[in-house]
Structure 1
Amino acid sequence: MPRPFELEYRVFEDAAALSHAAAQHFVDCAKAAVAQRGKARVAISGGSTPKSTFALLADPAQPYRAQMPWEKLEIYWVDERCVPPEDADSNYRMTRKTLLDKVPIPASQVFRMEGERDPEEAAARYESVIRGQFRLEGAQGPVFDMLALGMGDDGHTASLFPHTEAIHELGRIVVANHVPQKQTWRITLTWPVIVEARDLFFLIAGKDKADPLQRVLEGPYDPETLPSQLIQPRSGKLLMLLDKTAAANLPAPGPDGVGKMEIAR
């Protein structure tokens, strides 16, 4: 059943400004989690906007690197393509080359999805890893301190694509998802896990996202066609960091660049 939540969207002039805002948000969330719980368990996504954000976080010339509690982070992935870790399409490879190889995160605190394995096996193994790290039993699911999502121009998020089986999964933490429209398999966290994150936010940039974003937020509830509509945070609050072109069809934000909506379907 859909649940109401409060959406805050922050609109930035361009993709560069958005990446800086995202980098600062990563730092703020990580520091808050470490202060409260002694560590920050972070689930990240691939894509061009996260890549730019990771580059900023790793850059010693930027303020973010010195602020981040690197040794207290645990890094997980929201989803992965079914390719080896050195493949150009690998989300892990992008993150490693852009961020992980350049900052002092202990290797033992980085938990990748094994995209080179059989998809079902890789999903089962990753669920086992998460259960072990979070010390979960039975039907209990993980609560990530921070979880970053993107959104495709088809309304998908994570690897929850329109009209695919993973949309309907309620009991698993991680699943293999066949994506016929891309003729491929993906590995993804399930949406019931995603919505439990303490700090859940989207990074969305580009004019090709303006129409689907408007339909996700203001259109009829149809998660089979627009899986991003499944992301209704348990906390009751969702943040979207947007560039101007992605936000073009939404109500104009205030003078501070911040807009708010009550989403109740």
Structure 2
Amino acid sequence: MRKIRIYNTAEELNISFTGWLTDILAEKELATIALSGGSTPRLLFDYWARLPEGAIDWTKVKFFWGDERCVPHTDVESNYGMTKEHLFNFIHLADKNIFPVQGDNDPEAEAKRYGELLNRELESKNGIPVFDIMMLGMGDDGHTASIFPHEMKLWYSDENCVAATHPVSGQKRISLTGKVINASSNIAFLITGENKAQKVKEIIEQSENAEDKYPAALVQPDSGNLFWFLDNKAAARLTKGE
């Protein structure tokens, strides 16, 4: 089931996504979430940080990351560092519930370590670790997590995590692979901005053609639970009703 939800503002998107999240948390004693980086999640984390204490029971959540830049946690580009600055510093959460990627480790060794950590900490199905909630963004080149179009082969890796390379900067990154992403019980794309509109249209309305070009088009969860949370700018070129 693919569900597309379109909002006039980022704040409306944040409110709706939070309702979707809390509905899932209400059914779980403990939920696992893979976070994404970027400007859209940052605004979401700011919204969560402003909520009244107890609005979300964070003690029921174990946090992981779908990808991470290979930089120290104190670096401004760290996804973990951004989450800490905008969310973790404002909520009551035990360290044992947070599982960051160690971005300053050797990339290949860290990809292996994090993949093994997922095997230990998550429930599995057919030998693949399963997240309850997978948050994803999408770049204006159609990448998701840190699987980029020039490295599509990494999507199909047999490993849980891989070391990837940014096509422009050459920066190394750690990313979940396609098998882990698509094994998730619920996947939510959170996408804002007109610079994403063309890729959103291609992936949603011309998916067969897009699968050869964009990693984001390969997000097809086994559960069928795929949700697109879009602002009206990202959804501006969509023409088909959903």
Q: Normalising by structure 2, report the TM-score.
A: 0.93
Structure 1 counterpart of 2:225: 237
- SS in structure 2 opposite 1:164? helix
User: Unaligned regions of 5+ residues in structure 2, if any?
Assistant: none
Quote the Cα distance in structure 1 between the aligned partners of 2:47 and 2:123: 33
Q: Work out whether 1:29 is the aligned partner of 2:20.
A: no
Residue matched to 1:80: 68
SS in structure 1 at match of 2:168: helix
Partner of 1:98: 86
Distance 2:104 2:153 in 1: 20
- Report Cα offsets for 1:201-220 as digits up to 9, x if no partner: 10010011111111112224
Give the distance between the partners of 1:169 and 1:184, measured in 2 at CA.
21
**Residue 158 of structure 1, aligned match among 135, 145, 150:** 145
> How far is 1:66 from its partner?
2.1
Query: Which residue pairs with 2:215 in the alignment?
Result: 227
1:41 maps to 2:69: no
Q: Secondary structure at the match of 2:172?
A: strand
- Asked if the contact 2:122–2:131 (Cα under 8 Å) also holds between the matched residues in 1, the reply is no
Is the Cα contact below 8 Å between 1:31 and 1:68 reproduced in 2? Answer: no
Alignment of structure 1 residues 91-130 onto 2, 5 Å: 91-130=79-118
How large is the Cα RMSD of the aligned pairs?
Answer: 1.9
Q: How much does 1:135 deviate?
A: 6.3
Distance 1:180 1:15 in 2: 28
Equivalent-residue separation in structure 2 for 1:26 and 1:94 (angstroms): 20
Q: Residue in 2 aligned with 1:51?
A: 42
Match of 2:180 in 1: 193
Partner of 1:142: 129
Q: Deviations over 1:199-253 (max 9, x none)?
A: 111001001111111111222434342111110111123110110111111136x
Question: Given residue 14 of structure 2, which amino acid in structure 1 is its aligned partner?
Answer: S
CA distance in structure 2 between the aligned counterparts of 1:142 and 1:225, rounded to whole angstroms: 26
Q: Secondary structure at the match of 1:151?
A: coil
The residue type paired with residue 92 of structure 1 is Y
3-state SS in 1 of match to 2:41: helix
Q: What letter matches 2:8 in structure 1?
A: E
1:29 to partner: Cα distance: 2.2
Q: 2:10 — aligned with what?
A: 15
| Distance in structure 2 (CA, Å) of the matches to 1:230 and 1:189 | 13
Give the secondary structure class of the aligned counterpart of 2:93: coil
In the other structure, the counterpart of 1:3 is none
What residue ranges of structure 1 are gaps of 5+ in the alignment? 1-5, 253-258, 261-265
* Percent of matched pairs sharing the same residue: 36
How many matched pairs?
A: 241
- Per the TM alignment, residue 193 of structure 1 is displaced from its structure 2 partner at its CA by 0.7
**In structure 2, C-alpha distance between the alignment counterparts of 1:225 and 1:181, rounded to whole Å:** 17
